[in-house]
Structures are given as structure tokens and as C-alpha cells.
Structure 1
Amino acid sequence: MADDTKFLLLFLLLSSSSLCFGSESDILCLKSVQKSIIDPYGVLKSSWIFENPREGYICHFTGVECWHPYENGILSLRLGNLGIQGTFPQGLQNCSSMTGLDLSNNNFSGPIPDISRLNPYLTNLDLSYNSFWGSIPESISNMTYLNLLNLQHNKLSGHIPPQFNFLTRLTTFNVAENLLSGPVPTLLQKFSASNFAGVTDKK
């Protein structure tokens, strides 16, 4: 019994340490994002105030959804339609518990990085209506928890990676209005043709 008690206490201690670390990491994530992007309308500048920190305070920031309202653990970031500019925020890798990311309807540009390394557990990823360019990273196929992947209306070129056949949980997928060419992977052919509008040589 004594050994069981020691194990339980050790487990609780490690769990508590992990939660604290996660909270600090998520706060660092938001600070990094705020610093790296251009916020012309001051939406994040006016809402993301890091002075006088307290447990759960980031959960009241614009676009931040937490796992629990009294803990600084980010469930998702919904930063769509805020007029934000810049490249994909690398600091998002510090949002280690995040499962949803929406950067849609902004003015992001540049290549899409290896998101599977930054945020491997995303279930929803919406980068639509921006100006991301370059190829679609093949490594996104490693994000096997994805239910939604929306890359519509960017400047992406090249082909849709055939490795996307591994994304078996996808219920929403859209790459319309880009500069893509080549065949559509077999798994993705279940989606409407309108979701591939602009893709040349789809067969």
C-alpha cells in the first residue's frame, strides 16, 4: 500500500508540473504570436494584455479558447478576419495543447511551414483566404487527427501531396482558388469538385 501511495503522489506531482509548464508555454506562445505579426487594427494589442497575470486570464483574450476557463491551457485560436499581416507565426509551437487553429480571412503570406512539427495534434486547421504561397507541405499528412483542412483562396502551387491519403479522419477539405495542378489523391475524391476549383489536370 505504501508503494501505491508513493506512486500516486509521484504521478500527481508530475501531472501538476506538466500543467504548470503547459500554462507557461501557452502564455509564451501568445506573446510570441503578438510580437511576430502586424496588427493594423490593434485588435490583439488592445485585448492581449499580459500585465497582472492570473490563472485563466488569457482565456478572455480575443480569439483564445481554453480547455478550462480557469487554466491557461489553449484549446484553440480563432484569429480569423482580424486584418492580421505577416508570415505564419512560428511561436505557435509553444501552444502545445492546442487542437484548433483558424487564421482565415487575414493577410498572411509566405510559405506554410512544417505545421506537423509545430502543432502535431491539430484537429482543425483553417488558413483560407490569405496569401500563403509555395507548395503544400507533405508533412501535413503526419497530422492524422485532422478533421478539417481548409487552404482555399491562397497562392499555393504544385500538387496536392499524395500522402494526404493518410488523413483518414478528414470530414472537410478545400484547396479551391489556388494555383495547384495534378491529380487529386484517392481519399480526397469524396469531396465536392467545387473544393478543388482551379486545380488543373485533376484526373
Structure 2
Amino acid sequence: MASSAVLFPSFVWFLYLFCFLCSLPLAICKEAENDRHALLCFKSRLSGPAGVLASWSNKSFDVCEWHGITCSKPYPRRVIALDLESEGISGSISPCVANLTSITRLQLSNNNFSGGIPSEIGLLRRLRDLDLSRNNLEDPE
């Protein structure tokens, strides 16, 4: 009887550990999926020369292969840089960009972005390099 009492807590510990480890890929996939949705939302307000954002599509699930995107090397791969400098892109900067929570570099200079700079960009705690120069952005009042 004593041996089954010892086995039961060990089994429960194993079960908790198993459930935790099985849920990790779901959490990691969710973060990568959030990056994908944020980029598609960002793209929805843009237009530009043919081909510039052609790789940004629902048909391609690996955002790390999209034009202008750099992802982190270790797993899970997250978007860490968005570099669309001098691409002839016009439109407005969507607040969706703030959902790229791992981004450290946002380079959108020398395009035709217009409108305001979303205040949500200020929520990007890891952002270290921001360049929005040479666009048609409005000054904050």
C-alpha cells in the first residue's frame, strides 16, 4: 500500500510536466501567428510597386521568408526587424505594427507613408532602431 502512495505523487508530477511540455508548441505557434497577422494587417493599408510586398500573403505561412523581414535565429523564430527602406511604398502606418512584440528595428524611411505615427509604436519595449524619416508623416500636435 505504501508503494502506491509514493507512485501517485510521482505520476501526478509527470502528468503536469507532460501537459506543460505539450502546450509549449501551441504557445510558440500562437506568437508566430500573431506576428503573421500583424504583418498582414500592416500591409492592408499599403500600396507600392508590383512585387515589393508580393511575398506577404496568406499563401506563405513563414513570415521569415517575406521580403524585408528578419527573424530571430533561435527557436521560436520571431520577427525582430522590418526593413522596407526606399521601396516606393505609400499608405499609412497601421497600429497593428505594435503587435510585433519582439521587433528591435523598424526601418521605413524614404517612402511615401502619410498620416500620423501610431502611438502604439511607443509600446514596443524591445524597439531600439526606428527610422521613419523622409516620408510624408504628420507632426504630432
TM-score, structure 2 length as denominator?
A: 0.76
Residue by residue over 1:98-140, the C-alpha shift from the partner in whole angstroms, topping out at 9 and shown as x without a partner, is 22111111111212121123x23212111111121222xxxxx
Q: Does 1:21 align with 2:27?
A: no
Contact 1:87 / 1:108 at 8 angstroms: preserved in 2? yes
Residue aligning to 2:92: 87
Identity score, percent: 34
Matched pairs, number: 131
Question: Which of 39, 43, 57 matches 1:49?
Answer: 57
Contact 2:42 / 2:93 at 8 angstroms: preserved in 1? no
How big is the shift at 1:41?
Answer: 4.0
Contact 1:26 / 1:72 at 8 angstroms: preserved in 2? no
TM-score, structure 1 length as denominator?
A: 0.55
Q: CA RMSD in A?
A: 2.6
Residue aligning to 1:102: 107
Structure index of larger Rg: 2
Task: Please give the alpha-carbon distance, in whole angstroms, between the structure 2 residues aligned to 1:13 and 1:99.
Answer: 29
Contact 1:76 / 1:99 at 8 angstroms: preserved in 2? yes
Mapping of 1:162-173 within 5 angstroms? none
Contact 1:88 / 1:113 at 8 angstroms: preserved in 2? yes
Task: Please give the alpha-carbon distance, in whole angstroms, between the structure 1 residues aligned to 2:50 and 2:74.
Answer: 27
Residue aligning to 2:6: none
Aligned residue for 1:62, secondary structure, equals coil
Provide structure 1 residue ranges, at least 5 long, that are not aligned to the other structure: 136-157, 159-203
The letter for the 1-side match of 2:42 is: V
